[in-house]
């Protein structure tokens, strides 16, 4: 890892890591649930020609924990947006939870996300397409040394509902507002209901990671 | 005018105030009535605070109850949080319940507080003896009749505004003003409420600083927004409830209301559940008709 910067998103300080400096549009890595940013560019992403950065989402890695929890994916989209404000236009590569958050960010900041690659990883399905039986837990176990990943983040972000039509709305935003022929590339194997809906949308392709990297690396 | 000079007929400040720790966050709890009396829990609506029960809660206290309310996280005197979601509000509520009793207790919820208590009663039925819901039953959202193209544009505007808001939060503060100005601002969203009442509320829900009064609510919170939540996810809990249920709706259209109709509720009422339509009342039933609502509650509890 080269260097890290601290960015403020409301009351949370986020850690944004530069894995490889280079000219050209950065690839921004979004980890899966309970993961953290890698310390070096993973071999399977080495073909990216530009800079590579990685963001620790709230409650993960070197970013702050949200005291009292309240984690939701739209807030994590805000984390990504704060990173975009720092980096400028990016291409996103998201694993699991990071794939869903990457979809939201691609729809929310379509002009500044130049393609998002959605990959398998922990936390891809979330809480499924509709609400489960309600629960009010009083405890989720002690946090690990260092505080992250926050056990409450693990609890809440495996119960958040991800309706297919809601996810599809973000895919539509990404494809209609980005001006890209292809705004989203799904490179994973698993298709939870939200992702099944996303791949049906125009401007979304299913393919291999090398092809997706090559596609979005074009100027 | 000093805050202590402003009163409102029937309004009484709480007899006791304390805080409860909810997973690291301090939740402010306010109580009216004898500490040894049977408890009844009151959950306020979104962008409100426990002080909005300042007329209603004393009516229950005077009828022999220990009326307990709390400020939701980021509201009133409760601590600001980094993040807010429904599940966290539920846990905060449960922490307040735990601080009072583990026996089943009657609960009253208004608006967002009504939906919260409905879900809590579904999740923890052993903690609730009666469920009273005051216009807190969202029904299926009515979308404006617009084309797909317009809808995509509306969503884009909403997303951009929300993300711009999140980017600009670092030093966010609420706008200062006089008591009259804050009351007038609140009156725009609560047009049916008495101006004297709104001025009284400012003295509880706002604090005076060097440059004027500011509402205490977390300046990072904003009305509206978007998310995966569907109003019918709240209503679907209602048929599950196994304790006595009273739902109260006003007959008047109100900008803060859900637009829920009697038919929406009746089809979801559990066996023995009761719906009362309060003539001439809007969304803030317990503020507009405190005596009538208190009598309905006392009848259910009798």
pTM value?
0.95
Q: What is the DSSP letter of B67?
A: E
Q: What is the DSSP letter of B177?
A: B
Task: Taking residues A131-150, report their average pLDDT.
Answer: 92
Check residue A156 and give its pLDDT: 97
List strand residue ranges (DSSP E) for A43-104, in order: 52-56, 90-95
The ipTM is 0.95
Domain that holds residue A89: 3-217
- Quickly state the pLDDT bin for B149 (edges 50, 70, 90): low
- Quickly state the pLDDT bin for B299 (edges 50, 70, 90): very high
The model's pLDDT over B159-218, given as tens digits with 9 standing for 90+, comes to: 999 999 999 887 788 999 999 999 999 999 888 999 999 999 999 999 999 999 999 999
Rounded Cα distance between B110 and B254, Å, is 14
Q: How far is A77 from chain B (nearest CA, A)?
A: 8
Q: Which of B240, B231, B234, B233 is nearest to B270 (CA)?
A: B240
Check residue B150 and give its pLDDT: 67
Q: What is the CATH number of the domain that holds A47?
A: 3.40.50.1820
Task: Taking residues B114-118, report their average pLDDT.
Answer: 97
Could you tell me the residue ranges of all domains in chain B?
3-143+230-301, 148-215
- Quickly state the pLDDT bin for B131 (edges 50, 70, 90): very high
CATH number of the domain at B3-143+230-301, please? Answer: 3.40.50.1820
Count structural domains, chain A: 1
- Quickly state the pLDDT bin for B140 (edges 50, 70, 90): low
- Quickly state the pLDDT bin for B144 (edges 50, 70, 90): very low
- Determine if residue A106 is left, alpha or beta; phi over 0 gives left, psi from -120 to 50 gives alpha, anything else beta: alpha
Strand A3-9 to A12-20 pairing? antiparallel
Check residue B229 and give its pLDDT: 87
How far is CA B19 from each of CA A137, B78, B168, rounded to the nearest angstrom? 20, 8, 30
Instruction: Sort out which chain B residues have CB atoms less than 8 A from A162's CB and list them.
Output: 228
Kindly report the average pLDDT of chain A as a whole number: 97
Instruction: Sort out which chain B residues have CB atoms less than 8 A from A125's CB and list them.
Output: none
∠ CA A17-A141-B76, nearest 5°, is: 80
Instruction: Sort out which chain A residues have CB atoms less than 8 A from B124's CB and list them.
Output: 136
What are the residues of chain B with a beta carbon less than 8 Å away from any beta carbon of chain A?
A: 22-25, 73, 79-85, 87-88, 90-94, 98, 119-120, 122-124, 152, 155-156, 159-160, 162-163, 166-167, 169-170, 220, 226-230, 233, 236-237
Kindly report the average pLDDT of chain B as a whole number: 92
Query: Is pLDDT above 70 for B148?
Result: no
The number of angstroms, rounded, from the C-alpha of B91 to the middle of its chain's C-alpha atoms is 16
């Amino acid at each position: 890892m080269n260097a890290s910067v601290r960015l403020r998103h409301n009351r949370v300080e986020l850690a944004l890591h530069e894995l490889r400096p280079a000219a050209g549009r950065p690839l921004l890595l979004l980890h899966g649930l309970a993961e953290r940013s890698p310390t070096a560019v993973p071999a399977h992403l080495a073909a990216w020609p530009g800079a590579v950065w990685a963001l620790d989402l709230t409650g993960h890695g070197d970013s702050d924990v949200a005291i009292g929890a309240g984690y939701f994916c739209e807030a994590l989209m805000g984390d990504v947006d704060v990173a975009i404000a720092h980096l400028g236009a990016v291409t996103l590569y998201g694993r699991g939870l990071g794939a869903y958050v990457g979809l939201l960010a691609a729809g929310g900041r379509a002009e500044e996300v130049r393609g998002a690659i959605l990959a398998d990883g922990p936390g891809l399905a979330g809480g499924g397409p509709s609400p489960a039986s309600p629960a009010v837990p009083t405890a989720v176990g002690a946090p690990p040394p260092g505080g992250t990943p926050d056990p409450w983040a693990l609890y809440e972000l495996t119960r958040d509902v991800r309706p297919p039509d809601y996810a599809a709305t973000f895919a539509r935003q990404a494809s209609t507002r980005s001006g890209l022929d292809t705004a989203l590339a799904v490179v994973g194997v698993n298709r939870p209901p939200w992702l099944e809906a996303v791949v049906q949308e125009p401007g979304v392709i299913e393919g291999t990671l090398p092809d997706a990297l090559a596609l979005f690396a074009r100027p | 005018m000093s805050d202590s000079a402003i009163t409102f007929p029937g309004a009484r400040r709480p007899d006791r105030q304390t805080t409860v720790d909810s997973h690291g966050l301090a939740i402010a709890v306010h109580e009216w009535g004898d500490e040894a009396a049977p408890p009844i829990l009151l959950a306020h609506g979104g962008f409100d605070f426990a002080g909005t029960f300042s007329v209603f809660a004393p009516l229950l206290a005077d009828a022999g109850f220990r009326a307990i309310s709390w400020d939701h996280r980021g509201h009133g005197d409760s601590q600001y949080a980094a993040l807010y979601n429904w599940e966290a509000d539920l846990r905060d509520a449960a922490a307040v319940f735990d601080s009072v009793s583990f026996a089943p207790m009657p609960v009253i919820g208004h608006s967002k507080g009504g939906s919260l208590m409905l879900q809590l009663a579904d999740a923890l039925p052993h903690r609730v003896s009666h469920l009273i819901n005051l216009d807190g039953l969202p029904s299926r959202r009515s979308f404006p009749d617009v084309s797909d193209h317009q809808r995509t544009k509306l969503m884009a505007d909403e997303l951009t505004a929300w993300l711009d808001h999140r980017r600009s939060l670092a030093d966010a503060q609420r706008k200062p003003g006089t008591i009259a100005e804050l009351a007038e601002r609140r009156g725009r969203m609560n047009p049916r409420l008495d101006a004297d009442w709104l001025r009284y509320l400012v003295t509880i829900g706002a604090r005076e600083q060097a440059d004027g009064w500011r509402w205490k609510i977390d300046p990072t919170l904003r009305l509206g927004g978007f998310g995966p939540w569907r109003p019918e996810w709240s209503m679907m809990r209602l048929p599950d409830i196994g304790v006595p249920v009273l739902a109260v709706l006003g007959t008047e259209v109100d900008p803060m209301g859900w637009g829920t109709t009697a038919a929406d509720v009746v089809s979801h009422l559990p066996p023995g559940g009761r719906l009362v339509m309060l003539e001439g009342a809007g969304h803030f039933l317990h503020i507009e008709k405190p005596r009538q609502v208190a009598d309905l509650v006392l009848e259910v509890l009798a």
